[in-house]
Amino acid sequence: MTDQTKIALVTGASRGLGAALAEALVPDYHIVAVARTTGGLEELDDRIQAKGGSATLAPMDISDPNAMATLCRGIHDRWGKVDLWLHTAIHTSALTPAHFVDPKEWTKSTTINATATSVLIPYVAPLLGEAGHAVFFDDPKAGEKFYGIYGATKAAQMALARSWAAETARTGPRISIVAPAPMPTAVRARFHPGEDRDALTSTADEAARILAQL
């Protein structure tokens, strides 16, 4: 690995779209894969190596500010930069009426979906510099019935991303927000149990489409 190696930070990389994006970036990027699930990260690493790529696994909780500070300091000390940040990590609460909101689920969703993003942006921004690229993934459910917790906290995440995009439009880094097609992921299954998953776009195909679009 040389100083010219491009670094892709993928938060939420152990499964679903995050894992597919990490694989799709091989061999052009060294992948820094972040997720809580160690087993999922190890399986991802096997697939990346099978494609001739390389990865650094970071089994960390993005809702832990100290862990994220350690992660970003480690990236700075080793590579001095991040070329591409893909933030796919998300917590999906069960669908529920607004008048039955579980306070624990609200707190967990707010912490992972909104607060963690507000912590990560200041940590990752110096690594991206002016030339880097950060990508966020929209799923507009705010205001839909039964999506109160997820819709509100995802909307908060997107509001942060859109503000950052507006603020850096002239100076960089580049901030993109994309809306993925429906995919057979764990997130989708939680909201749509019993759905015909074969009719959905595969994560690999959607990752390829998104990266081509970017």
Instruction: Report DSSP letters for 41-79, one per residue.
Output: HHHHHHHHHHTT--EEEEE--TT-HHHHHHHHHHHHHHT
For residue 4, what pLDDT band results from cuts at 50, 70 and 90?
confident
Average pLDDT over residues 131-158: 96
Indicate whether 2 pLDDT > 60. Answer: no
For residue 186, what pLDDT band results from cuts at 50, 70 and 90?
confident
Q: What is the CATH number of the domain that holds 79?
A: 3.40.50.720
- Is 1 contained in some domain? no
How many domains does the chain divide into? 1
Cis peptide before 27 (omega within 30 of 0): yes
CA nearest neighbour of 42 among 27, 60, 29, 55 = 55
- Is 35 contained in some domain? yes
Average pLDDT over residues 13-34: 97
State the Cα angle at 135 between 131 and 161, rounded to 5°: 100
Average pLDDT over residues 208-212: 97
For residue 164, what pLDDT band results from cuts at 50, 70 and 90?
very high
Provide the residue range defining the domain that includes 162. 6-208
Residue recorded with tokens 């917790």: 149
Q: Is 153 helix (H, G, I), strand (E, B) or coil?
A: helix
**Amino acid, single-letter form, for residue 173:** P
Average pLDDT over residues 33-58: 97
Encode pLDDT of 189-206 as tens digits.
888 888 899 999 999 999
Indicate whether 80 pLDDT > 80. Answer: yes
- Give me the pLDDT at residue 60, please: 98
- Is 150 contained in some domain? yes
- Give me the pLDDT at residue 1, please: 58
- Give me the pLDDT at residue 192, please: 87
Average pLDDT over residues 132-158: 96
- Is 214 contained in some domain? no
Contact 9, 86 (CB under 8 A): yes
- Is 39 contained in some domain? yes
How far is residue 203 from each of residues 2, 29, 35, 86, 96, measured CA to CA in Å? 30, 19, 17, 15, 27
Average pLDDT over residues 97-124: 97
- Is 213 contained in some domain? no
Q: What percent of the chain has pLDDT over 70?
A: 99
